[in-house]
């Protein structure tokens, strides 16, 4: 498998080019293959994790009677405690019109409500309703239960080592995301 790299001098942002395969002595090639195979296996495991996590989020959304976007909006509001419609739209990268319609839907199913913004009388704040807080807590408890199962059934790593591993890859993903969004960064 040829490795892909970003071509720095490419005219298009994010242009990828295949690295040519270099012939190496057998021992060096075997060491490189082992490292590359390990990276490929790790990348594959991350992809499987992403796929399964999307399925889990779909199950949460379905349980709450929401679409994926409504679920994302609801959980953002629940996690922040309060936010404005404008901040929610920016976070989700939605138009203000689409966000208003989504907030209406979340209000209709009693997950969030609008309250006056004490800092700006022309604006409102969004916050979870008591029912919304209960539903958000159900999601958090499901994640906690899932994590408890993962920690107690893993044979090779401790809870701290698992956490450190996830934190490490999360930091690398964040750095990669930042680089993709702003290659000069």
Q: Which residue has the higher pLDDT, 5 or 37?
A: 37
Residue 40 is predicted with a pLDDT of: 87
**Under the phi-then-psi rule, with left for phi > 0, alpha for psi from -120 to 50, and beta for the rest, what region is 81?**
left
Range of the domain at 73: 65-156
φ and ψ at residue 58, rounded to 5 degrees: -65, -40
Residue 60 is predicted with a pLDDT of: 96
- The 3-state DSSP class for residue 135 equals helix
Residue 86 forms part of a structural domain: yes
Residue 19 has pLDDT above 90, yes or no: no
User: Rounded CA gap, 18 and 165, in Å?
Assistant: 29
Beta bridge partners of 5: 17
Two tokens at 50? 């992403």
Residue 108 forms part of a structural domain: yes
Beta bridge partners of 128: 112
User: Rounded CA gap, 60 and 85, in Å?
Assistant: 23
- Average pLDDT of the chain to the nearest whole number: 85
- The owner of tokens 């209960």 is 134
Residue 56 forms part of a structural domain: no
User: Rounded CA gap, 3 and 22, in Å?
Assistant: 11
Q: The domain spanning residue 115 has which CATH number?
A: 1.10.10.10
Name the residue among 155, 166, 104, 106 with its Cα closest to residue 132: 106
Residue 2 forms part of a structural domain: no
The model scores a pTM over 0.85: no
Two tokens at 7? 């071509």
Residue 38 is predicted with a pLDDT of: 82
Neighbouring residues of 40: CB distance < 8 A, sequence distance ≥ 6: 1
Residue 160 has pLDDT above 60, yes or no: yes
Residue 183 forms part of a structural domain: no
Q: What percent of the chain has pLDDT over 70?
A: 79
Based on the structure, what is the number of domains in the chain? 1
- The 3-state DSSP class for residue 16 equals strand
Residue-wise pLDDT for 95-134, tens only, equals: 999 999 999 999 999 999 999 999 988 999 999 999 999 9
Residue 34 is predicted with a pLDDT of: 62
């Amino acid at each position: 498998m040829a490795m892909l790299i970003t071509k720095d001098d490419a005219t298009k942002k994010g242009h990828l080019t295949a690295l040519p395969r270099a012939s190496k002595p057998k021992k060096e090639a075997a060491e490189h293959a082992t490292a590359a195979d390990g990276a490929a296996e790790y990348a594959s495991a991350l992809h499987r994790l992403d796929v399964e996590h999307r399925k889990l989020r779909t199950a949460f959304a379905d349980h709450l009677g929401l679409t994926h976007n409504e679920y994302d909006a609801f959980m953002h509001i629940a996690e922040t405690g309060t936010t404005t419609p404008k901040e929610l739209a920016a976070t989700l990268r939605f138009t203000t019109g689409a966000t208003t319609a989504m907030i209406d839907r979340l209000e209709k199913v009693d997950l969030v409500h609008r309250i006056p913004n004490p800092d700006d009388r022309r604006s409102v704040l969004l916050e979870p309703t008591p029912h919304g807080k209960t539903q958000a807590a159900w999601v958090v408890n499901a994640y906690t239960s899932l994590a408890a199962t993962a920690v107690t059934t893993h044979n090779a790593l401790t809870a701290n080592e698992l956490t450190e591993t996830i934190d490490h890859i999360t930091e690398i993903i964040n750095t990669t995301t930042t680089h993709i969004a702003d290659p000069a960064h």
